Amino acid sequence: MSKLFKIVIFQITLILGFNTGATDILRLVTTTSTDNSGLTDFLVKEFNRDTGINVHVVAVGTGKALAIARNGDADVILVHSKPDELEFVDQGNGIERISVMYNDFILVGPGEIGETRSITEVMRVIADKDQLFISRGDDSGTHKKELQLWQAAGVKQQDNWYRESGQGMGKTLQIASELNAYTLTDRGTWLAQNANQPLQLQIVFEGDDDLFNPYSLIAVNPEKFIHVNYDAANQFIDWMTSVKGQQLIAGFEVEGQQLFFPSIN
């Protein structure tokens, strides 16, 4: 089933649910990174046990998640592109940007590319050496970060070494592995993907401040979209930022490695 078809079915189902008075449904639109890592499913199940609220999830890139929410087809979003999130709220589409967790981006590839001191230096070396780079090319938070890094490095992408997958993070990592290429990924998806299907890639660069990757929750504005389940959205936000929610985020591991870190101590 294609991702577009899933989104259409998701929207139709929720419209019908709303019309029949099903107020115990929360429409959560989140990123492929939280979904591919397994975190979304883990948290949603625990939230349902605690509240009885059923959560319908669609996982897309941050750009698409924000677009869905702008149409009023979400109650709450979990995304990771701060400038776009702030714009979304400033435009009156969402109530408040609430930091909930973070991890980091890492650059992975088939091998080391020489001495480098910053992520921008790494990006310049990849371009200078015409090393194959696979971009998600999907307007996701990861794609947006990647474009920022190219701009900061003063690099213009060229067709002879730059390719766009148009896929989520998991698929993009698989493509990079098959083509011996470099790519930017969030650490959570990298760890989960390697645990499920080891990749022929290694971490090339990590630890730069520019690779910080915060995630936020935003409830869709009920004054703009009167049909949204604002009560359920607030319950989800309260639960995610509670002691229990933050402990669950901190405790989520893959093969003994923590994938995300809570923003609230």
Q: What is the pLDDT along the chain (265 residues), one digit of tens a residue?
A: 444 544 444 454 444 443 333 458 999 999 998 998 999 999 999 999 999 999 999 999 999 999 999 999 999 999 999 999 999 999 999 999 999 999 999 999 998 887 888 999 999 999 999 999 999 999 999 999 999 999 999 999 999 999 999 999 999 999 999 999 999 999 999 999 988 889 999 999 999 999 999 999 999 999 999 999 999 999 999 999 999 999 999 999 988 999 999 998 6
Cα 251 from chain centroid?
A: 19
Contact indicator for 33, 142 with CB cutoff of 8 Å: yes
C-alpha–C-alpha distance, residues 179 and 52, integer Å: 45
Contact indicator for 221, 114 with CB cutoff of 8 Å: no
SS3 21: coil
**In 10 A of CB 1, how many CB atoms?**
6
C-alpha–C-alpha distance, residues 129 and 161, integer Å: 9
Helix, strand, coil shares of the chain, percent, nearest 5, are 45, 25, 30
Strands 261-262 and 94-109: antiparallel
Contact indicator for 211, 119 with CB cutoff of 8 Å: yes
Domains of the chain with CATH codes: 3-103+214-262 (3.40.190.10), 104-211 (3.40.190.10)
What type of residue sits at position 250?
A: A
What global pTM score does this model have? 0.86
Residues constituting the chain: 265
Structure-token pair, residue 97: 């940007």
Torsion of CA 165, 171, 177, 178, to 10 degrees: -70
Which alpha helices (H) appear in 116-208, and where do they start and end? 119-128, 141-153, 169-179, 187-196
What's the pLDDT at 115? 80
How distant, in Å, are the alpha carbons of 5, 85, 177 from that of 216?
26, 8, 30
